Amino acid sequence: MNKPLSMTGQKVMLVPQGEFELVRNPRDELLQAWDAADEFLLNHLDEIKVRSRHGKLLILNDAFGALAVALANHPVYSWNDSCLAQQALRDNLLANGYPSDQVKTNPGIHFPTVAVDCVLIKIPKALALLEHQLYALRRVLHSDTRIIAAGMARNIHRSTLNLFETILGPTATTRARKKSRLILVERDQSLNEGQSPYPDSYELQVDRTTYRIINHASLFCRDRLDRGSQLLLENMPAADRFRRIVDLGCGNGVIGIIAAALNPGASMLFCDESYMAIASAEENFQNAFARSRAATFRVDDGLQGVDSDHHDLVLINPPFHQQHSVGDATAWQMFKQARRVLTAGGELRIVGNRHLAYHSKLKKLFGNCETIASDSKFVVLSSIKQK
């Protein structure tokens, strides 16, 4: 069945709390900004009559703000690792007649510390993030706090339920509705053993230097160097040629850290849309260079707000997933932004999955693209911004 559209042509979520016009970030007119699990959860809250008098709500991992907007007349705190998700929430609050700061959000990786009366959790893609969040939750739950998680059934496994059971207490799941499920959790106050194992770390040996790379819970490839990143590290541009280097979508910062080591005189800019990525990159950079090097760390959507024609090298291992969906729109946006911030003669060097055909995209954008290296799965490509 087609979803209703508003007067402005946006998709509208119809739930017992009202009708809400919602968009995604990045914008995608074809895809909805909420899923059946959001609808199930909002219907359930209405059935059990959670109303504003039930006090403070904490919402975790609300991808585009659907839950927080529908519940914005409650005192709501929304925690999200993604600044794109936070921007979607602000946009959707405004579109539905609220001020953009109606719902409080986290300014960094830390969790709120005040007690909450109801916690709503959307199951994140990274199980490690869920594990970390469940430990952090123990500090804000009181004996009557309701804990309800929601997700698409395909993303809820035995291992997901085990986390709830071992960290918080007895856990039950509902029947599936439109392929989504709710997880209902009772806090067992006697379960207090253990703590979050994140950030965790691995050792990386490059030339004769060993780096200890720490990774906060939401990070891509937390326990080892990703094969694509490794191929890029093995095929970095020649040392000591660059003055201003950007690591875009830096994750834990490994690519930029090695670029900094190869170019001791260069200033470094690390950018990622994830708070936990930037916290990891900053800590890893400080461990690698102590106070001897300065660098800038930005949580933002790509290179938004970064000066044009200013950098001479941009390095990218582009994302392939956003939340639970897959595509190359973000990679394309990153390539365009990289071209904008490069000086004439500056280089974009990337690694990507062979099947994504980034070569033709870069050729179209820069007018040139050289294959530097490849293996059965990945390819390292270089494009130069023409004068």
Ligand X SMILES: C[S@@+](CC[C@H](N)C(=O)[O-])C[C@H]1O[C@@H](n2cnc3c(N)ncnc32)[C@H](O)[C@@H]1O
Nearest distance from C-beta of residue 151 to ligand X, angstroms: 20
**Is 250 near ligand X (CB under 6 A)?**
yes
Nearer to ligand X, 50 or 248 (CB): 248
Query: Could you give the strand order of the β-sheet that contains 76-79, starting from the edge strand earlier in sequence?
Result: 104-105, 76-79, 57-60, 116-122, 141-152, 180-185, 171-173
Q: x/- string (CB under 6 A) for ligand X, residues 218-237?
A: --xx----x--x--------
Q: Taking CB under 6 A as the criterion, which residues in 82-121 touch ligand X? A: 84
Choose one: 9-17, 247-255, 341-349, 372-380; the region binding ligand X (CB under 6 A): 247-255
**Is 277 near ligand X (CB under 6 A)?**
yes
**Is 302 near ligand X (CB under 6 A)?**
yes
| # residues near ligand X by CB under 6 A | 20
**Is 288 near ligand X (CB under 6 A)?**
no
Nearer to ligand X, 351 or 369 (CB): 351
Choose one: 45-53, 128-136, 184-192, 272-280; the region binding ligand X (CB under 6 A): 272-280
Q: Taking CB under 6 A as the criterion, which residues in 16-45 touch ligand X? A: none
**Is 274 near ligand X (CB under 6 A)?**
yes
Nearer to ligand X, 22 or 271 (CB): 271
Contact pick of 38, 272, 328, 347 for ligand X (by CB under 6 A):
272
Nearest distance from C-beta of residue 283 to ligand X, angstroms: 15
Q: What is the 3-state secondary structure (H, E, C) of the chain?
A: CCCCECCCCCEEEEECCEEEECCCCCCCCCCCCCCHHHHHHHHHHHHCCCCHHHCCEEEECCCCCHHHHHCCCCCEEEECCEHHHHHHHHHHHHHCCCCCCCCEECCCCCCCCCCEEEEEEECCCCHHHHHHHHHHHCCCEEEEEEEEEEEEHHHCCHHHHHHHHHHCCCEEECCCECCEEEEEECCCCCCCCCCCCCCEEEEEEECCEEEEEEECCCCCCCCCCCHHHHHHHHCCCCCCCCCEEEEECCCCCHHHHHHHHHCCCCEEEEEECEHHHHHHHHHHHHHHHHHHCCEEEEECCCCCCCCCCCEEEEEECCCCEECCEECCHHHHHHHHHHHHHEEEEEEEEEEEEHHHCHHHHHHHHHCCCEEEEECCCEEEEEEECCC
Choose one: 56-64, 147-155, 243-251, 373-381; the region binding ligand X (CB under 6 A): 243-251
Nearer to ligand X, 119 or 314 (CB): 314
Q: x/- string (CB under 6 A) for ligand X, residues 321-360?
A: ---------x------------------------------
Short-list 85, 114, 90, CA closest to 103: 90
**Is 282 near ligand X (CB under 6 A)?**
no
**Is 273 near ligand X (CB under 6 A)?**
yes
Nearest distance from C-beta of residue 216 to ligand X, angstroms: 11
**Is 317 near ligand X (CB under 6 A)?**
yes
End-to-end alpha carbon distance in the chain: 52
Choose one: 34-42, 87-95, 148-156, 268-276; the region binding ligand X (CB under 6 A): 268-276
The β-bridge partners of 353 are 378
Tokens representing residue 69 in the block = 């907007």
**Is 78 near ligand X (CB under 6 A)?**
no
Choose one: 4-12, 57-65, 249-257, 359-367; the region binding ligand X (CB under 6 A): 249-257
List interacting residues with ligand X (CB under 6 A).
84, 220-221, 226, 229, 249-251, 254-255, 271-274, 277, 301-302, 317, 319, 330
